[in-house]
């Protein structure tokens, strides 16, 4: 199944390919940096930036787009998405931006046309909260945050 998503290309995005899936089974479209030509962006260690994609989307109702890191950039350069997964709402019509942070100890240089992140479009389940004095009982109850142990063995209850 393929969902059509209208896209508006801003002036600084013109001339760049549209994001695409790198392989037939890829989950995410690679997002491309729409930085000015000849003006690389250098991210110092621990520096962050909102990198433009030059694209505005009109996601259908009931969908979101998640902006996620690329594992290769994360592993090799320490470059990741600060708010991963970033959330693009279906009613957002502004430019999609990628919030990158350099978690390495060396500067990272980003250039126009570079594939900086990936965008996964996913269905959204919306809920309505219904106040209730008592909630159904479960084995876990209010145990959390390591209540089942932190090593490889499971506790017996």
Ligand X SMILES: O=c1ccn([C@H]2C[C@H](O)[C@@H](COP(=O)(O)OP(=O)(O)OP(=O)(O)O)O2)c(=O)[nH]1
Stretch that binds ligand X, among 13-21, 25-33, 90-98, 136-144 (CB under 6 A): 90-98
CA 76, distance to chain mean position in Å, is: 18
DSSP state of 105: S
What DSSP letter does each residue of 65-99 carry, written as one string? Answer: EEEE--HHHHHHH-EEETTSSEEE-TT--SEEEEE
**Cβ-based nearer residue to ligand X, 74 or 99:** 99
Q: Strands (DSSP E) along 2-156, which ranges?
A: 7-9, 20-21, 29-32, 41-43, 48-57, 63-68, 79-81, 86-88, 95-102, 108-110, 115-123
Q: How far is the CB of 141 from ligand X (least distance, A)?
A: 32
Given 87, 109, 122, 147, the residue binding ligand X (CB under 6 A) = 87
Residue 13 binding ligand X, by CB under 6 A:
no
**Cβ-based nearer residue to ligand X, 94 or 133:** 94
**Cβ-based nearer residue to ligand X, 71 or 148:** 71
Residue 83 binding ligand X, by CB under 6 A:
yes
Residue ranges in contact with ligand X by CB under 6 A = 67, 83, 86-89, 92, 96-97, 99
């Amino acid at each position: 199944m393929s969902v059509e998503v209208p896209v508006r290309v801003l002036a600084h995005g013109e001339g760049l390919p549209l994001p695409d899936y790198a392989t037939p089974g890829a989950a995410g479209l690679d997002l491309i940096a729409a930085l000015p030509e000849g003006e690389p962006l250098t991210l110092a260690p621990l520096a962050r930036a909102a990198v433009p994609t030059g694209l505005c989307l009109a996601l259908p109702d009931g969908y979101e787009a998640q902006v996620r890191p690329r594992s290769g950039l994360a592993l090799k350069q320490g470059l990741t998405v600060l708010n991963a997964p970033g959330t693009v709402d279906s009613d957002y019509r502004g430019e999609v931006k990628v919030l990158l942070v350099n978690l390495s100890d060396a500067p990272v240089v980003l250039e126009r046309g570079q594939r900086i992140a990936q965008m996964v479009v996913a269905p959204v389940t919306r809920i309505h909260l219904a106040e209730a004095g008592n909630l159904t009982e479960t084995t876990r109850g209010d145990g959390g945050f390591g209540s089942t142990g932190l090593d490889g063995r499971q506790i017996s209850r």
